Structure 1
Amino acid sequence: MDIQHLRAFRSVVATGSVRGAADVLGYSPSAISQQVTALQRQSGVPLLGRVGRGVEPTAAGRAMAARIDAVLGELGDLDDFVRALRDGRATTFTLAYFSSLGATWLPGIVGPLVEEFGDTRIELHMTDVHDPGRRPRPDLQLVVLPDDAPIPGGYERHLVARDTYVVALPQTHPFAGHDEVSLPELAGQTWIDNDFAQGACRQVTLEACAAAGFQPRFRVQTHDYPSALGLVATGLGISVMPALGARHLPEGVVTRPVVDPTPVRSIHALVLRDSTDLPILRRALELVHAVAGAT
């Protein structure tokens, strides 16, 4: 279908008359009428009905107008995309991050990007792992990886921060009065798991416990840090988690650093090589290091 025919018909529907569409689009009424007639011929169904001196869409015409809106919207996005390519700008920037950064780092990263790159749509994707098959690929992904993990194809890796672990305790727990808690002291405690998916952050805890000579005894498995902290507040047990995950504590919960050994997770920024020249990506990486240094 001819795009100009679609525009002419949509304008007729919006203005309620052929003459109104002609005035808006800068064509003669006869030219608009011919374009609408051609569209009706192609579609094989009546799209307009006459009402007094004007016209109104039929049921099929209303359905057609709704589809045309979607098409014209996509064309507008395509025009913006082409102009951005011509000007060397990004039209979409995809940032992937894991859950405990949502309320801690993300505002300090996304807020400035929105203000400074108003023409760029910023898409956020929350995930704990890097998925090489995901499309579109993230321009920047913040992810927990072992330092010796292989770098995903097409990406560069930058170490951003090392996040040490703490133990969340009920305020009435005997260890709450300590400045720090030795990991072996937690061997006999009732543990609340905080990573049901058993991802990289949980593995850091298990490896540290193995180094201390025990495996934790989990009484309850939860899916996230806030849920685990809520159960700690009830006195059900203790939970070991990254310090960033324990920023917002419910009443009656305290945290203490874990030592001997101290579990540590490494937070990396994966940068898509194809996007390294984009100003928004360079700025995003600056902001990532800034918020990481402030925590």
Structure 2
Amino acid sequence: MELRQLQYFVKVARKQHVTNAAEELHVAQSAISRQIHQLEEELGVPLFVRKGRNLQLTSVGKLFLERIEVVLADMERAVSEVREFLDPEAGEIRIGFPHSLGIYLLPTVVASFRQSHPNVKFRLRQGTYNSLIRDVMKGEIDLSFISPFPEKHLYVSGRLLLQEELYAILPQGHKLADNETIRLEQLREESFVMFSDEYSLRNIVLEACAKAGFVPRIGFEGEETDTIRGLVAAGVGVSLLPEMALTEISQLQPAKVRVIEPLVTRSVGLIQRTGDKLPLVAEMFQHFLFDHFQEN
């Protein structure tokens, strides 16, 4: 079993197509097909089945992919660690983040860190709560900002960085837009613009509304804070967003009002794979983040 076979297998599994995999890898389709065939012969089981023009993983193929992705990520990390041993200031940090932290927090801390470590590179991956935890578990990223912070998890661990308040956002012409504070119950009859199911902010809003004694009427759903903020500003509904997601000024700007009953917050933390030793450069960044949030 060769490393090249495993790399080809993972690429085809992700692309579900030999042609697309070959184009991305800059190799001939026949070379990929031959290596996949040899891998299946060595394992003694088919890893793919053809469905139309695409290839889909068999049940054994899915299991094999899950294991091999971890192995390849560990090999990539081993190579990075050797390079960082020679020069940690020229290393690469692989870090994940939810979209709501990519507007202000992530650019701020990366820029601050690079003032002292200008040659360090960052490989960034945006994702949902579950996808970020999965990527940390698989070793595809070293660290990840996460919200809410998982206090107890079998495979990831880390540290709580901050508690952030969520604000009600309303169209500028809304009757409550000029209030300094509101009770969430005052939005009972409104149409809400919400995140879709896989986003943790949706559950935070739903739980807050339940505490206020009502189930929100959902008029629109979105996947990015910019979309939700823009729809609210356009007058199609109301929502709740973290304060950091409201720092950017745009042409369509909603009114921001503090919610005092109940107080709505989210936890933000930093996680890594439990039991893992981070690459030196990632460990430097981790300590930088801990100091940064402790001071601020």
User: Quick check: TM above 0.5?
Assistant: yes
- Taking only aligned residues, the RMSD between alpha carbons, in angstroms, comes to 3.2
Name whichever of 263-272 and 177-186 sits farther off: 263-272
User: What is the TM-score when the length of structure 1 is the normalising length?
Assistant: 0.63
Match of 1:238 in 2: 238
- Bigger radius of gyration among the two: 1
Change in Cα spacing, 1:172 to 1:105, as seen in structure 2 (3 Å) is same
SS in structure 1 at match of 2:276 = helix
Q: Which runs of 5+ in 2 are unaligned?
A: 1-26, 28-77
Change in Cα spacing, 1:231 to 1:162, as seen in structure 2 (3 Å) is same
Sequence identity percentage: 22
Match of 2:96 in 1: 96
1:207 offset after TM fit, Å?
0.7
Aligned 1:149-188 pairs, distance under 5 A: 149-153=151-155, 155-188=156-189
Q: Aligned partners of 1:292 and 1:248: how far apart in 2? A: 24
Asked whether 1:283 is paired with 2:273, we answer: no
Q: Is the 8 A contact 1:169 1:254 kept in 2?
A: yes
AA at the equivalent of 2:212 = A
Change in Cα spacing, 1:285 to 1:79, as seen in structure 2 (3 Å) is closer
AA at the equivalent of 1:290 = H
Aligned 1:88-167 pairs, distance under 5 A: 91-118=91-118, 120-129=120-129, 130-131=133-134, 135-145=138-148, 149-153=151-155, 155-167=156-168
Asked whether 1:256 is paired with 2:257, we answer: yes
1:237 offset after TM fit, Å?
1.6
Aligned 1:47-86 pairs, distance under 5 A: 82-85=82-85
Change in Cα spacing, 1:92 to 1:283, as seen in structure 2 (3 Å) is closer
Name whichever of 203-212 and 121-130 sits farther off: 121-130
1:248 offset after TM fit, Å?
2.2
Q: Aligned partners of 2:175 and 2:104: how far apart in 1? A: 29
1:292 offset after TM fit, Å?
8.3
AA at the equivalent of 1:144 = S
AA at the equivalent of 1:218 = I
Q: Aligned partners of 1:167 and 1:210: how far apart in 2? A: 15
Aligned 1:160-239 pairs, distance under 5 A: 160-193=161-194, 195-239=195-239
Match of 1:266 in 2: 267
1:161 offset after TM fit, Å?
0.9
1:279 offset after TM fit, Å?
4.9
AA at the equivalent of 1:143 = I
Q: Is the 8 A contact 2:177 2:255 kept in 1?
A: yes
Change in Cα spacing, 1:249 to 1:184, as seen in structure 2 (3 Å) is farther
AA at the equivalent of 1:180 = T
User: What is the TM-score when the length of structure 2 is the normalising length?
Assistant: 0.63
Q: Is the 8 A contact 1:191 1:216 kept in 2?
A: yes
Q: Aligned partners of 1:189 and 1:292: how far apart in 2? A: 38
Change in Cα spacing, 1:289 to 1:108, as seen in structure 2 (3 Å) is farther
AA at the equivalent of 1:107 = P
> Alignment length, in residue pairs?
217
Q: Aligned partners of 2:176 and 2:295: how far apart in 1? A: 29
Q: Is the 8 A contact 2:136 2:143 kept in 1?
A: no
SS in structure 2 at match of 1:237 = coil
Q: Aligned partners of 1:180 and 1:108: how far apart in 2? A: 29
AA at the equivalent of 2:199 = G
